[in-house]
Amino acid sequence: MDALLEDSSQYPPIRVIHFRRNRGKAEALMAGFAAAIGDIVITMDADLQDDPSEIPKLVETLNNENYDIISGWKYPRKDPLEKRMFSFVFNRVTAFFTGVKLHDMNCGFKAYRAEVVKELYLYGDLHRYIPILAHQEGYKVGEVKVRHHPRRFGVSKYGFKRIPKGFFDLFTVLFLTKYLKRPLHVFGTIGVIVAFIGALIGLYLAVLWGMEGGVGFRTPDTPIKITLRQNLTNSLFYAILLKV
Query: Whole-angstrom Cα distance, residue 35 to residue 28?
Result: 11
Cβ atoms of 147 and 54 within 8 Å: the answer is yes
Tens digits of residue pLDDT in 179-200: 767 777 778 888 899 999 999 9
Query: Is residue 28 pLDDT above 80, yes or no?
Result: yes
Average pLDDT value for residue range 129-143: 94
Tens digits of residue pLDDT in 205-226: 777 776 665 555 555 565 666 6
Cβ atoms of 15 and 35 within 8 Å: the answer is yes
CA distances from 210 to 213, 218, 229 (A): 6, 11, 11
- The pLDDT value given to residue 166: 73
Query: Whole-angstrom Cα distance, residue 126 to residue 24?
Result: 11
Amino acid at 239: A
Taking alpha carbons only, the member of 102, 133, 131 closest to residue 43 is 131
Return the ∠ at Cα 174 (arms to 102 and 145), rounded to 5°.
10
Query: Is residue 105 pLDDT above 60, yes or no?
Result: yes
Tens digits of residue pLDDT in 31-83: 999 999 889 999 999 888 999 999 999 999 999 999 999 999 999 998 888 88
- Distance, CA of 216 to chain centre: 46
Query: Whole-angstrom Cα distance, residue 196 to residue 179?
Result: 23
Query: Whole-angstrom Cα distance, residue 124 to residue 21?
Result: 15
- The pLDDT value given to residue 244: 45
Percent of the chain residues past pLDDT 70, beyond the cut: 77
Pairing label, strands 40-43, 110-113: antiparallel
Query: Whole-angstrom Cα distance, residue 100 to residue 91?
Result: 9
Query: Whole-angstrom Cα distance, residue 66 to residue 142?
Result: 9
Query: Is residue 230 pLDDT above 60, yes or no?
Result: yes
Average pLDDT value for residue range 162-169: 75
The neighbouring-strand residues paired with 72 are 144
- The pLDDT value given to residue 213: 57
